[in-house]
Amino acid sequence: MKLFYKPGACSLASHIVLRESGVDFTLEKVDLANKHLENGGDFFNVNPKGQVPAIQLDDNTVLTEGTAIMQYIADSVPDRQLLAPVGSITRYKALEWLNYVATELHKGFTPLFRPDTPEEYKPAVRAQLEKKLQFVEEALRDKQWINGLRFTIADAYLFTVLRWARAVKLKMDDLSNVNAYMERVAARPAVIAALAAEGL
C-alpha cells in the first residue's frame, strides 16, 4: 500500500493507523499547494479531489477520505483491535467520535488555515473551537483513550487534529485531561515513528 500525505495534515491520522496496524506500506509526500507528487507527477491523477490522504491499495485501487481509509485499515487487521467488530456498540461509539472529529473539530479549523479568511472572523472561529475542546476535555475525564480502555482509529484522528490547536495557539493550558491524553498518544511507538517519518 502507498499513502499519499502532507506532513502534519489530516493524513497523519491514517499514517498513525498504518503504523499501528503493522501492515507494509510506503509513503509519498504531496505538495498540496501545487498538487504535485515528489516525483513531479500530477496528484490529481491519483485523487481527483486534490486532497490528502489517499491510499493506493495493493490492487491499485485508490481509496480517499481519512475516515474511510482508517476504517479499511482497521478492518483489514482485526487482531490489532483498532476498531471493534461490526455489530458491537463499542465500534459505533468509536465511529461516533471519528465523525465528531471530522465534522466538528477538523472542519472547524479550516478557516484558521485559509489565507482568505477575514481576520475579524477568526476570533469567533477560535471561540467555537475552544468550546468544543472543553467538550473533549470532559469526555476524557477518567479515560485513557477517547473510547475508553483501548486505543482506536478515533484516537489517531483526535490526536492529529488536537496538534493543530497548539499550532494555532488555542487556549490549552487549563485542559489537563487533553494535555495528558496528548502525551499518552505521543508516547506510542507507532506515533513516534509516524511523526519522525513526517519530519514533525
Tell me what pLDDT residue 104 has: 95
Tens-digit pLDDT profile for residues 18-63: 999 999 999 999 999 999 999 899 999 999 999 999 999 999 999 9
Give the Cα separation of 186 and 107 in Å (integer): 23
Tens-digit pLDDT profile for residues 143-172: 999 999 999 999 999 999 999 998 898 999
Mean pLDDT for 125-152 is: 96
Give the Cα separation of 16 and 193 in Å (integer): 8
> Which residue, chain included where needed, has cell 489565507?
115
Tens-digit pLDDT profile for residues 63-74: 999 999 999 999
pLDDT of 141 over the 90 cut: yes
All cell numbers assigned to 69:
481509509
Q: Cβ(67)–Cβ(99) under 8 Å?
A: yes
| Neighbour tally for 123: CB within 10 Å | 9
- What DSSP line would sit under 111-148, residue for residue? HHH-TTS-GGGHHHHHHHHHHHHHHHHHHTTT-SBTTB
Tell me what pLDDT residue 84 has: 96
Neighbour order of strands in the sheet with 26-31:
36-37, 26-31, 2-5, 54-56, 62-64
The confidence band for 12, taking pLDDT boundaries of 50, 70 and 90, is very high
**Residue 166 or residue 175, greater confidence:** 175
